[in-house]
Chain A
Amino acid sequence: MSEGAKKGWTRREFFHGVGAVSAACAVGGMAANALAAEEAAVDMGPIIAEAMGSKDVTADAAVKAELPEKADNATLVRVPVKIDHPMDAKNFIQSVGIFVDNNPKPQVAVFEFTPEVGKVDFEVRIKMAKPSKVRVIAKTNAGKLLGLEKMVDVAAGGCA
């Protein structure tokens, strides 16, 4: 058996268990409330500034994320991110933040990159408490923030 085959695991194994949700989820008062999406939006400026060093984000097509219009499983929303930007020593993407405005804690994750990755192309799965704007913000090593934002509906709350 080849080294690769030994280390490999099937797609089925890979995703096994990932979608399991505790039945206790709805008990804690975090169930989705469709009306909540209509509430006044959180002031994301300070949250973004805290995580990314500035709140001045410019929408930029270089930031790509194939987010669903509606997520069937709010505890498992795929966030595949690609940034079309050089990754060389003098000009690279230093960090990428993922934010969900309507989550109790909007900052979901912040990644720091080095030019050694060659390209920023990654995927995580996230929880969403209710329908929300999802933001992906990339910071260049010069400190410029490039962003993408999209409304993502969810079928039911993700107890985030």
Chain B
Amino acid sequence: MADIGEPKVKVPSAPAKAGDIVQIKTLINHPMESGMRKDDKGEVIPAHFIEEVTVEYDGKTVLKGKWTAAISKNPFFSFSLKASKTGPVKVSWKDNKGGNFTASADLTVG
């Protein structure tokens, strides 16, 4: 499996106009193990999943997600955002083992 992490944030490539609703796409490599599965030796695979996602736009938290292990492996998450001014869209993922990942992309407005 690919390494855990490699968080990605994708914003529209074309500049947005102030007030436009734009779609942001995110992706991260993560096993999202529930702790309910066993490996081929019958050993329980420990739970390891992202439990919190936070989106900041231009330094302000605009959206948060509380996740569980029922979110699919290598989670894709897209969301809308109202463009106001040029600034970073920063996404942070935290997992139950203390893993912390962030990725950022500048949303251009003008």
Contact = CB atoms under 8 A, between A and B. Distances in A.
Interface residues of A, number: 52
Interface of A: 2-5, 7-9, 14-15, 17-18, 20-25, 27-30, 75-77, 87, 100, 103-105, 107-114, 116-128, 159-160
A78 B38 CA distance: 25
Given A4-B14, A7-B11, A118-B21, 6 more contacts: A4-B13, A8-B13, A21-B73, A27-B42, A111-B66, A121-B21
B5 interface: no
Interface of B: 1-2, 8, 10-14, 21, 23, 25, 27, 29, 32, 34, 36-40, 42, 44-45, 57, 60-82, 84, 105-106, 108
Contacts of B38: 24, 27-29
A111 B73 contact: no
Q: What is the predominant secondary structure among interface residues of chain A facing chain B? A: mixed
Nearest to A116: B62
